[in-house]
Chain A
């Protein structure tokens, strides 16, 4: 039973095998990707807050 979208993609989208990540993401899990997105968004927010008057 797949518990992670990464597994589902590997099983259902034939021909795609990845050493790391999946067909949908270069990250190891959804949660990792979420945290990177959050970090990126916070950097953008900080940048906008500091640089835009």
Chain B
């Protein structure tokens, strides 16, 4: 069977990419971009990817159109380029123009929660909008025949993205985690996974749906859902349902958590621990933490620590689900002869091992100094020209008396004495001082400058982030294209009910544990 279709679509997509690159490069879109992309955040991508994908599309598109095709692997795999480029043109359209336009519209409505805008609260970023765009394409227009083979590459994109995710973390950063955060997160992650699996079995949802939902509700977000999907043989619609349930749950909790926290008068550490345990999506955890403490970063920092801790449990959960799924699917006789080692060897996804491999490489410091977290690291070996000037020191000295908290007072004194931030701990304390607005705007500007010159971004990790973004945008838009309305009806409302019950239980129980055991230290 010959798979390549003699169709001009790939040529047209190549021409679209090339046209975007040329018009952005020549400044012909400056009018529109000055509204939706004021800082020129995407200009580099639009030009670089536009030229690269444009040329690729034109060359392979010409071969599709006018080349001769014989049955075989070259025909089979190269035929997928058309569909892959079809996904990319939609995903990049959403990322470069759709999502920024939604953000501009949302900002025009004004903040809806503290200083948060509607699109942030609802999580309407390029990831979610990409899935929605994919769902619209498949349900309104259907995936064209020439693109079908390429759409089946979307899961490959997601798996590669999860592997590269390992480069964003380092062992040195994880070693700083407190024992309590590991115990607390571990208990609730494992507990939630177990509860979803148990409820799923009682309510007769398919094992694949229960498995993927348990990982999503237990660990967090897209990565865990994608990582666990192959071991429980989850379908596209089940992955999308899980992501939808997590986001929907997070939106409600982002509003509710700060209200409950204020009623119970929780400390910042307590609230950070609770939000980090009870809310699943990272962005929504940050949103709730900032809503609770807009004038400092203590809550946010604790919530972030809990987020990193969850990553630790990902391989364990995948292993558990692999064993659970095999046991659930086997017949009674087969169950008796299950060889655990064999199941692990056969079912454990190699790409999760890839994630661990990248994490290990990242921890050696080959991509960035070993103590980095998501590519950012503290380094106060700065040039003399970047040290604080006399007038800036005078500004801080004049206002030092306003600072009451001892740690802030000491960190500020060290900054004044050395003209630069002296440690990572001081950096965190001084950021808290800026957010508390104790000092004047002018003095805060000096502190922000001092922070900026010692905060470095690893270029390699920045590049990895761009790759991860591209792969996730590609994978999730393609995933959306596999979700038909009939498959959504088939999945029904059970996952939302189970997700809601488990999420509520987790929030209530974690609140009780935190009120009883967590004080102002982690």
Residues of chain A whose beta carbon lies under 8 Å from any beta carbon of chain B: 1-2, 4-5, 8-9, 12-13, 19-27, 30-31, 33-38, 40-41, 44-45, 48-49, 52-53
Contacts and interface: CB of A to CB of B under 8 A. Distances in A.
A35 B350 contact: yes
Given A38-B163, A49-B460, A8 B233 contact: yes
Contacts of B366: 49
B160 A37 contact: yes
Contacts of A9: 235
B331 interface: yes
Interface string B200-236: 0000000010000000000000000000001001111
A26 B77 contact: yes
A34 B77 contact: no
A45 B152 contact: no
Contacts of A48: 367, 460, 463-464, 467
Contacts of B349: 30, 34
Among A4, A33, A36, A41, the one with the most B-chain Cβ atoms within 10 Å of its Cβ is A41
Nearest to B149: A26
Nearest to B208: A8
Contacts of A26: 76-77, 80, 149, 152-153
Contact of B159 (A8, A34, A45, A49): A34
B74 to A, nearest CB: 13
B88 interface: no
Among A31, A44, A49, the one with the most B-chain Cβ atoms within 10 Å of its Cβ is A44
Contact of B354 (A20, A30, A41): A41
Given A8-B233, A26-B149, A44 B351 contact: no
A24 B236 contact: yes
B463 A52 contact: yes
B230 A30 contact: yes
Contacts of A37: 156, 159-160, 163, 350-351, 354
B156 to A, nearest CB: 6
Contact of A1 (B159, B160, B208, B329): B329
A53 B459 CA distance: 7
A45 B165 CA distance: 11
B167 interface: yes
A35 B351 CA distance: 7
B330 interface: yes
B463 A31 contact: no
B361 interface: yes
Interface residues of B, number: 40
B331 A38 contact: no
B487 A13 contact: yes
Contacts of A5: 230, 233-234
B192 interface: no
Nearest to B159: A37
Contacts of B77: 26
A30 B49 CA distance: 29
Interface in B340-377: 349-351, 353-354, 358, 361, 366-367
A32 B288 CA distance: 41
B367 A41 contact: no
Contacts of A45: 164, 167, 358, 361, 464
A44 B459 contact: no
A24 B235 contact: yes
A30 to B, nearest CB: 5
Contacts of A13: 235, 487
Nearest to B164: A41
Nearest to B334: A1
B263 interface: no
B358 A41 contact: yes
Contacts of A12: 235
B331 A1 contact: yes
B350 A38 contact: yes
B207 to A, nearest CB: 10
A43 to B, nearest CB: 10
8 contacts: A23-B482, A34-B159, A35-B350, A37-B159, A37-B163, A37-B350, A45-B164, A52-B459
Contacts of B153: 25-26
Contacts of B361: 45
Contacts of A35: 350
Contact of A44 (B164, B234, B482): B164
Given A26-B149, A37-B354, 11 more contacts: A1-B331, A2-B233, A5-B234, A26-B77, A26-B152, A27-B156, A34-B349, A38-B354, A41-B160, A44-B164, A44-B464
